[in-house]
Structure 1
Amino acid sequence: MKTISFTSKMDDIIKSEHSYMNLSVSHLIEKSVAKGEGLLTDSGSLSANTGKYTGRSPKDKFVVREQESENMIDWDSNQPINEDVFDRLYTKVLDYLKGINERYVFKGFAGADPESRLPLQVINEYAWHNLFAQQLFIQPSADELQNHSPEFTVISAPGFKADPAVDGTNSEAFIILSFKKKVVLIGGTKYAGEMKKSIFTVMNYLLPKKDILSMHCSANVGLEGDVALFFGLSGTGKTTLSNDPNRKLIGDDEHGWSDNGVFNIEGGCYAKTIHLSKEKEPQIWNAIGYGAVLENVVVNDTTREPDYDDNRLTENTRAAYSIDNVPNVIMPSVAGHPNTIVFLTADAFGVLPPISKLTKEQAMYHFLSGYTSKLAGTERGVTAPEATFSTCFGSPFLPLAATVYAEMLGKKIDEHQVDVYLVNTGWTGGPYGEGDRINLNYTRAMVQAALQGELRHEETMTDPIFGLHMPLHCPGVPDHVLQPNKTWENQEAYEEKAKLLAEKFKENFKKFDDVSEKIKAAGPR
C-alpha cells in the first residue's frame, strides 16, 4: 500500500492540467521569460542565474540506505540517509509542487545505446530547468514518447527549502537518491548541474550491474572508426584535446562501454564558459545558440550579449546545449571499442613526463588515483600548487566501490588490447611559477601519435621515480621535452619535487588496500 501511495502522488502531479509535458524549446523559453526566470540573449540562448548555489553541493548529496542496495553502496564515499527521512521529504516536496501554478515534465533517455538506455522523466518547478533537461538528456522520437515508461524520475523543486532540524538534512539544500524508489529528489538549490550529475550517479550504479563500464570521460572516433577515450579532471585539457577537427565527437563527459562498444550517456554538453572566446573555442561558442541554457553568465542589459570574462557571479559559469548544435559529431552517439585511452593530468610540480605508455596495471593504478593539480588562486586557501586525486576521475559520482570500475577497466583493456597513455598537459622545466606550461602543439602532436599507433613500438625508457615508460622519440616533439628531468636546469630541485609528488601518490593510494600487489607496485617506486 505504501508503494501505491508513493507512485500515485507522483502520477497526480504528472497528469495534472497544470503540468506541461515535453514542451518545445520555444514554449519553454517563453514560459521562462514570462515568469522572470531568465532572459533571452542575442544568440537565442536562455540565460538564468542560480542564486546562492553556483555549483554542486556535495555535502548535501545523500543516498538512501535501503535493504536492496545497502551492501553494494560504498558508504565511505557516499552519505547515507534514512529511508523514513526520504519518504517524509518526498511527500513534502510533492505537496509543494502540487501547490504551485505550473510544473514541467520531460520524458527522455540516458544512454544512446538502445540496449542499455535508461528511460527517465524529470519533473521541474522551473521552465528553464526543464529546458536544461531537454538539452542534456536524449530526446525521444514521437513514437518513443508515446510508449515511454520511465524507470527513474528526477524531481527538482528549488523553491522548497528543507529545515535541517526537522528534515534530517545538512542544510536547506538536498540531493537524495533512492535506488529502491527510483527517484532523485532535489530541493533548495537552483544549480541545474545537480540533475545531470545525479543521473550520471544513477548510471554508475545501474550499468556495472549489466557488465557495462560507466566512465567520466570524453570520446571521439577517427575516419577509420578508431575510438579514443579522454579521462581528465577540470583544467587538464579534456575538452580541447577531444574536440579534434579530424575526428568526430561521440560525447564530451559521460560514456558507457558495453560489449557493443562505446556510447554517450547524454544528449548534450555542459561546458564551462569562463573566458570563452570564439577564436580559442569556436565549437563551443557556435553551439551556444537557440535553445542553449547559460548559467550565471553576466549578460549586458542593453545588447543582451553575454560577457564570458565577467566572473562576478561565479568562476563556474556554464552553458548547456544539445549535441545537435555541434557540427563534427557522430549521430547516434555510439561507436566501436576503444583503440586508445588517454589519461590527462596537469602536473603543476613539473615532474611527470609529457607522455608515458602504461601497462594494464599502471592504467588501473592511475585510473584509481585520478591525479591533477589545483593551482594557487583557484580556490580560497590555495596559495601553492596542490596535488588533488579524484578516484576514476569522478569520485563524487561513484556509488559503488572504486575497485569495481577499475577491475572492469582492466578486463576491457585486456580483452580489446587497448593502448593506454598518461599525458601531462601541465608544467615542464620547473614547477608552476618557474617552469612553462607544456606547449599545446607538442601535446597535440603526442596525442595524435598515440591515436595513430605511432608510439606503440617506439623505444622507451623507464622513469626511475614514477616507473613510467617514456617514449624516446615522438614526431613533432623535440626529444629532450619527452624526459622531464632534461628540461630542468637544477637536477637536485627536480628530484626533490619528483619525490614529493611520488609520496603524495603513495599516501593517497593507501586507501586501496584491497587491490592486487601488482597494481600497488605499478605506482611510483
Structure 2
Amino acid sequence: MNTVHIPNELKLLLNGDNVHVQLSVPQLVEKILSRNEGLLTSTGAVRVSTGKYTGRSPQDKFIVSEASTKEKIDWGSLNQPISEEVFTNLYNKVLDYLKQQNEIFVFKGFAGADKKSRLPIQVINEFAWHNLFAHQLFIRPTEEELLSHEAEFTVISAPNFKADPKVDGTNSETFIIISFERRIVLIGGTEYAGEMKKSIFSVMNYLLPENNIFSMHCSANVGAEGDVALFFGLSGTGKTTLSADPNRKLIGDDEHGWSSNGVFNIEGGCYAKCINLSREKEPQIFDAIRFGTVLENVVIDQESRIPDYNDGTLTENTRAAYPIEAIDNIIQPSIAGHPNTIVFLTADAFGVLPPIAKLTKEQAMYHFLSGYTSKLAGTERGVTSPQATFSTCFGAPFLPLPATRYAEMLGEKILEHNVNVFLVNTGWTGGEYGVGQRMKLSYTRAMVQAALEGELNNVETIKDEIFGLNIPLHIPGVPDEVLQPQKTWADPKAYEIKAKELAAKFRENFKKFKNVGPEIEEKGGPIA
C-alpha cells in the first residue's frame, strides 16, 4: 500500500484539545458509561442502541467520482457516484462539527493480517462506543507498530451530524461516502457501527485486487494438517455454524484476502449475529461476549442487566462485536496457506438443488457470480412463497469493481492451486419450503467433513439432468437417496417443474454479466 499525505485540515482536527487517541478498552468503557452512551451488562459487555438505523443504509452509500478511479468502478445502484464538490462540502462541514465537540476518539490500526499487504487505517469517532467497536473489529497494533503507524485511509464517523439532502446533495440525512483519491470514508447521520466495518471492506475490495490479491466475503478455517477451507454464503445459509468446527482453527468469520502467500483475515474481530443466541447452539459466540464486547440493540433486563438474546423487539439484526482472541479455537496471526477446499453455501427453499455437488472451474465461477440463496415466506412483508435472491460473489454491496474481476481471480486461483470446490445446499429436501423439510445439520456436517478430508475427490458421481451438477452417489453418514433431490420428492413431475423454474431464474439473473466469456455460462450453468 502507498503512504498518503494527511491533509492539513485533518491534522488540525487531530491536534485539537478534545481528541483522545488510542484509549484502552477499560478507558473506552468508562467513557461510554460516563457519557451515557450505553449500559454495562451482566456479562461485562457494553449494551448500546443504534437508534433509527439498525442495519446498513445501502441507498445512502456513495463513491466519489474521481479522475483516477471513475473508469474502474462498477457504477450502479450499489456503487452510486457522487461529485467531488458534494464530498468536499460535506467533508468540511463534518470536520467543523467534530471540532466543536467536547470529545472525539481516534483508533489507529490495520486492515489485513498479512503485514506485506495490510492497510494502516485510523478511525475518528464522535461516539466512544463506536471507537470501542473499531478497536475490537480492526487489527490492533503493538506498541512498537503504533510508534511508526501512518494511516493510509481514514474513517470519519459523526452520527449526530445529519445531512440536508436539498443542500448537501445526498439522498437522505445519512451518508456513507468513500473517496479513493483522498483516502477517506465519511459517515454521518447513522449510529449503526457496521457501516465502518463494511466501508473498510469495500475499500479493501478495491485496493487488494489492484495488488493482485483476491478479496473475499467468506469465513475461513484450517485443519490440523494445515489444510485451509473457505466458506462463502449469504445470511441464513449456515456459514458461521459450519466454519466453527471444534476440530479446525478459525482464521476469520467474514472477510479475507488470498495473496500469493495464502489466505489472511482482513479483520481483527468478529461481528456476530446474536438473535436467539444460546450457549448450547453457539458456545464460541456466547462465551466471547464478555468485558469489552459491544452488544448492539440487544434487549436487557433493566435491573439484572442480563441480555435477552431471544428478544427481537428492536431488530432481528442484534449484534456482538468482540476481538477474535475472545474465540478459543483460532490461529494467530490470522494467516494460513492456500485453500484446499472452497464451499459455496446456499439455502435453497425450492428443494431442488443437491445437498452437495463437486464443481468444475466454470461451474465455480458461475455459482460464485450468481451468489444464490432463498428469501423465505414471512421474512418480509409481501413474501408469501420462497423467492430466489442473488448476491454477486456472495457480497454484492461491497464490491466496487466489476464482478467479473473477482470471478476471474477465483478461476485463476482454483487452477493455480488445484482447489476442490463444492456447492452445498443447507436448504430444503423432499419438497419445497412448506412441503419438504430443512436438510438435517448432521447430514450437512457429514458432507462438509467428507469434502474437507478429500473423501469426495475421486468418488462415483451422477450428473444432475437440469443443473448439470456432479452429485456423489455415496457419502458416509448420509442416506443415498438424500443426495439426489428428485428421489426425495413424492411427485417427480412436481420436482422437475420446480427445478426448471429455478434454473430459469439462474439464467435470467446471469444475463447481467455481459463481459463474461460464453464458456462460463455454457459449461457452468443449468443444462435444461
Distance 1:6 1:112, change over 3 A: closer
Matches within 5 A, 1:45-64: 45-64=45-64
Q: Quote the Cα distance in structure 1 between the aligned partners of 2:162 and 2:378.
A: 32
Using the TM superposition, give the Cα deviation of residue 475 of structure 1 relative to its aligned residue in structure 2, in angstroms: 1.1
Q: Quote the Cα distance in structure 2 between the aligned partners of 1:361 and 1:32.
A: 51
2:406 counterpart of 1:436: no
Q: Quote the Cα distance in structure 1 between the aligned partners of 2:106 and 2:303.
A: 33
Say which SS state the counterpart of residue 7 (structure 2) adopts.
Answer: helix
Counterpart position of 1:523? 525
- The amino acid of 1:208's aligned partner reads P
- The amino acid of 1:193's aligned partner reads G
Say which SS state the counterpart of residue 470 (structure 1) adopts.
Answer: strand
In angstroms, what is the RMSD of aligned CA positions?
1.0
Say which SS state the counterpart of residue 421 (structure 1) adopts.
Answer: strand
Q: Quote the Cα distance in structure 2 between the aligned partners of 1:421 and 1:452.
A: 13
Q: Quote the Cα distance in structure 2 between the aligned partners of 1:378 and 1:265.
A: 31
Note the alpha carbon deviations across 1:79-135, whole angstroms, 9 max, x for none.
Answer: 000000000000000000000100000000000000000000000000000000000
Q: Quote the Cα distance in structure 2 between the aligned partners of 1:297 and 1:516.
A: 47
Say which SS state the counterpart of residue 412 (structure 1) adopts.
Answer: helix
Matches within 5 A, 1:164-313: 164-313=165-314
Counterpart position of 1:410? 411
Using the TM superposition, give the Cα deviation of residue 315 of structure 1 relative to its aligned residue in structure 2, in angstroms: 0.7
Using the TM superposition, give the Cα deviation of residue 5 of structure 1 relative to its aligned residue in structure 2, in angstroms: 11
TM-score norm. by structure 1 comes to 0.99
Counterpart position of 2:377? 376
Q: Quote the Cα distance in structure 2 between the aligned partners of 1:379 and 1:25.
A: 38
Using the TM superposition, give the Cα deviation of residue 17 of structure 1 relative to its aligned residue in structure 2, in angstroms: 2.1
Counterpart position of 2:31? 31
Matches within 5 A, 1:498-517: 498-517=499-518
- The amino acid of 2:34's aligned partner reads A
Using the TM superposition, give the Cα deviation of residue 160 of structure 1 relative to its aligned residue in structure 2, in angstroms: 0.1
Q: Quote the Cα distance in structure 2 between the aligned partners of 1:69 and 1:475.
A: 51
Q: Quote the Cα distance in structure 2 between the aligned partners of 1:474 and 1:184.
A: 48
Using the TM superposition, give the Cα deviation of residue 513 of structure 1 relative to its aligned residue in structure 2, in angstroms: 1.8
TM-score norm. by structure 2 comes to 0.98
Using the TM superposition, give the Cα deviation of residue 380 of structure 1 relative to its aligned residue in structure 2, in angstroms: 2.4
2:341 counterpart of 1:325: no
Note the alpha carbon deviations across 1:310-348, whole angstroms, 9 max, x for none.
Answer: 111001100101001000000000000000000000000
Q: Quote the Cα distance in structure 2 between the aligned partners of 1:198 and 1:342.
A: 25
Say which SS state the counterpart of residue 264 (structure 2) adopts.
Answer: strand
Moved segments of 4+, more than 4 Å:
none
- The amino acid of 2:378's aligned partner reads G
Counterpart position of 1:142? 143
Tell which deviates more after alignment, 275-284 or 377-386.
Answer: 377-386
- The amino acid of 1:523's aligned partner reads G
Note the alpha carbon deviations across 1:167-200, whole angstroms, 9 max, x for none.
Answer: 0000000000000000000000000000000000
Note the alpha carbon deviations across 1:342-393, whole angstroms, 9 max, x for none.
Answer: 0000000000000000000000000000000011122222221100000000
- How many pairs does the alignment contain? 522
Say which SS state the counterpart of residue 445 (structure 1) adopts.
Answer: helix
Note the alpha carbon deviations across 1:444-484, whole angstroms, 9 max, x for none.
Answer: 00000000000000011100000000000111111110000
Alignment gaps of 5+ in structure 2: none
Counterpart position of 1:463? 464
Q: Quote the Cα distance in structure 2 between the aligned partners of 1:6 and 1:448.
A: 49
Note the alpha carbon deviations across 1:38-88, whole angstroms, 9 max, x for none.
Answer: 011111111100000000000000000000101100013410000000000
Tell which deviates more after alignment, 440-449 or 16-25.
Answer: 16-25
Say which SS state the counterpart of residue 432 (structure 1) adopts.
Answer: coil
Using the TM superposition, give the Cα deviation of residue 516 of structure 1 relative to its aligned residue in structure 2, in angstroms: 1.2
Counterpart position of 1:75? 75
- The amino acid of 1:61's aligned partner reads K
Tell which deviates more after alignment, 153-162 or 377-386.
Answer: 377-386
Say which SS state the counterpart of residue 481 (structure 2) adopts.
Answer: helix
Aligned-residue identity in percent: 70
Alignment gaps of 5+ in structure 1: none
Tell which deviates more after alignment, 372-381 or 332-341.
Answer: 372-381
Say which SS state the counterpart of residue 512 (structure 2) adopts.
Answer: coil
Say which SS state the counterpart of residue 225 (structure 2) adopts.
Answer: coil
Tell which deviates more after alignment, 71-80 or 249-258.
Answer: 71-80
- The amino acid of 2:55's aligned partner reads G
Q: Quote the Cα distance in structure 2 between the aligned partners of 1:164 and 1:477.
A: 56
Matches within 5 A, 1:142-161: 142-161=143-162
Say which SS state the counterpart of residue 409 (structure 2) adopts.
Answer: helix
Matches within 5 A, 1:335-374: 335-374=336-375
Counterpart position of 1:473? 474
Q: Quote the Cα distance in structure 1 between the aligned partners of 2:5 and 2:161.
A: 21
Say which SS state the counterpart of residue 494 (structure 1) adopts.
Answer: helix
Matches within 5 A, 1:40-119: 40-76=40-76, 77-119=78-120
- The amino acid of 1:320's aligned partner reads A
